[in-house]
Chains A and B, each alone.
Chain A
Amino acid sequence: MRSTAFKLLGLIVLLLVGRFTVAQQPLTIDITKGIQGSGIPIAIAPFGGGAPEDIAGIIAADLQRTGKIAPQPPGTRTDYSVTGQAQSGGARGYVVQFQLAGVQGAPLLNLSFDVPPNQLRPVAHRISDLIYEKLTGEKGLAGTRIAYIAGGGGSWYLVVADADGQNPRVILRSGQPLMSPAWSPDGGKLAYVSFEGRRPQIIVQDVYSGARRVVSAAPGINGAPSWSPNGQRLAFTLSKDGNPEIYALDLATQNPVRLTSSSAIDTEPVWLPDGSIVFTSDRGGSPQLYQIGPGGGAAQRLTFEGDYNARPTVSPDGRYIAMVHRRGGRFHIAVLDLQTRQFRVLTSGGLDESPSFAPNGKMIIYSNGQRLTAVSLDGSVKQDFTLRGNGRDPVWAPYGR
């Protein structure tokens, strides 16, 4: 008890001497690519009612970011328009109500939400996604989240932020490197690699409770965790038998099964929807992507362009594989269409790495040195996330909670 009191005193002293570095970290997003004036024009009027958040502003920014909808000032002659109110009242604090009108005022959406004050931003994102889906037929991303690694040099952070970069939360802080976060399919957990204790371990953390479980701490590399489509298994890399090999672990039985057997590097496994696994291997002399069946077996080579293709990630529908591709000594994000076998280089950054698909399959987030960028699958829209600090290893959360 005395010890606890002493520690609390220590906390207070530390607070008073100001050791705690406070740095607000708003991520903002700039559209860096996207044809000017393209997209469906939509007039968005300020929401009346005096809510503490600029609901119309959030909706406009969300829709602008999609590159497919072009918000206009109120009064602009457009086919589509949004009007709404956010007033205090209702059972939970605020009633947010909006209308989306089409040609000649025809009502397309007319909904209201009863929310507490701290849910005004999320409800604005929800409205953006409803409008986006109505106008494009695609599911929106405004209500989704991203996770990424920040820091380095002495303190590492696992951060979860909203898809517009706002509301960053440090769900893990460590004095040793963190890397390779991976969302569980339900969006409730993150698997990652942590070097705490000065050795790599694979840890699964419940995002909402903060509870953690060490999944693998074998001698050698414990790396590149990836969830199976049903969330019941994790694939990862272990080098305990001498060189890096792919393993799959049933999370219920905790029994890792080895899936590859080569004297080369085998790493970075990801699952296709059918349970087969794509991974990086330099068994052919340079790193390339290969595919094996759910239980291992003979590997099929998937990539043949250039001498470096690594870190695969699979689109939610299983059709596309994005990867890190080297060309002329520079690293870019490239995409392989598994249906047509067409291979396209999407980015031109030079240090581009760690691609991750958005849950609607339309965007890919990646890191570019120590910054985050998202690019559309067709390459037509590109967004830079402007972090005041750094960010890398981004992963887009699935739809879900």
Chain B
Amino acid sequence: MQHITRNLIAVAALALLAGCASTGDTTGQDQTGAQQDATTEQGITAQPGQDAYSYPYGQAPSQYDTYDTTGGTAGGQAGGGRPGQAVAGGGSAVSADRIVYFSFDSAEILPESQAIISKNARVLTGNTRIITQLEGHTDERGSREYNIALGERRANAVRQAMIAMGVSPQQIRVVSYGEERPATAGQSEQSYALNRRVEIVY
């Protein structure tokens, strides 16, 4: 009986997390200490400031959302689609004037990207209190960890260009998501081109 109760609470906690995720809040700031205490007691391990929950193997749920990468919507048949999120990969819906695109297998800044980079560099030099995060991405082809490295190379290329335009290095952070957060699903050349990008987030 005690086991059943524990499992039920684990399932309930999972439901709570599903609820949090579907509001789009994935930064974990609403995960108060009280909640963590409650969940930790029941065998679910959460750590401060994190938006991940682990389960002991013997109590781990067997359910998870499906995710369709071929069609274009997140959630798929399980009905986990999230309103207001048009992109499939959970990209952060950055506006087009903050996205720098790249050629296949390349981290070279294209001539047409100069205008977007310099426009954003002007914002940053104009207000040195703004911190930007440059998020590097690749298309899905090839090895995942190698793509993390390629995504970082792209983000660093944008970083160097911004520094050359006078932006302080202290205002720039770089993170690479590789192929893990595509802007769009699908396996066409067009989709791949949209996914090879650096998002300038601030």
The judgment on whether A and B are partners is yes
The size of the chain B interface, using a CB distance under 8 A, is 79
Let me know if A61 is at the binding interface, CB within 8 A.
no
Mark A65-88 against chain B: 1 for CB-CB distance below 8 A, else 0: 000000000000000000000000
Is the CB–CB distance between A11 and B26 below 8 Å? no
The size of the chain A interface, using a CB distance under 8 A, is 81
Q: How far is the CB of A178 from chain B (nearest CB, A)?
A: 8
Q: How far is the CB of A18 from chain B (nearest CB, A)?
A: 9
Is the CB–CB distance between A198 and B27 below 8 Å? yes
For B140, what are the chain A residues with a Cβ–Cβ distance below 8 Å?
A: 351, 369
Is the CB–CB distance between B148 and A221 below 8 Å? yes
Let me know if A354 is at the binding interface, CB within 8 A.
yes
**How many pairs of A and B residues are in contact by the CB < 8 Å rule?**
259
- CA separation between A152 and B74, bound complex, in Å? 8
For B32, what are the chain A residues with a Cβ–Cβ distance below 8 Å?
A: 3
Instruction: Name B74's contact: one of A153, A180, A244, A393 (CB within 8 Å).
Output: A153
Mark A357-401 against chain B: 1 for CB-CB distance below 8 A, else 0: 000000000000110000000000000000011101100000000
Let me know if A228 is at the binding interface, CB within 8 A.
no
Interface residue stretch chosen among B17-25, B93-101, B121-129: B17-25
Instruction: Name A212's contact: one of B47, B63, B148, B176 (CB within 8 Å).
Output: B47
Describe A's contact surface by its main secondary structure. mixed
Is the CB–CB distance between B64 and A157 below 8 Å? yes
Of residues 77 through 114 on chain B, the ones whose CB sits less than 8 Å from some CB of chain A are: 77-80, 82, 85, 88-90
Interface residue stretch chosen among A22-30, A51-59, A97-105: A22-30
Please name the residue on chain B nearest to A152 by beta carbon: B67
* Interface residues of B, Cβ cutoff 8 Å to A: 9, 11-22, 26-28, 32, 34-35, 37-38, 43-45, 47, 49-70, 74-80, 82, 85, 88-90, 140-146, 148-150, 152-153, 174-178, 180-181, 187
Q: Kindly list 18 other residue pairs between chains A and B, CB separation below 8 angstroms, not including A15-B12, A23-B78, A157-B64.
A: A14-B16, A15-B11, A19-B19, A21-B18, A23-B66, A152-B180, A153-B67, A155-B64, A155-B80, A172-B55, A173-B52, A173-B53, A175-B52, A177-B180, A207-B57, A223-B149, A311-B144, A326-B142
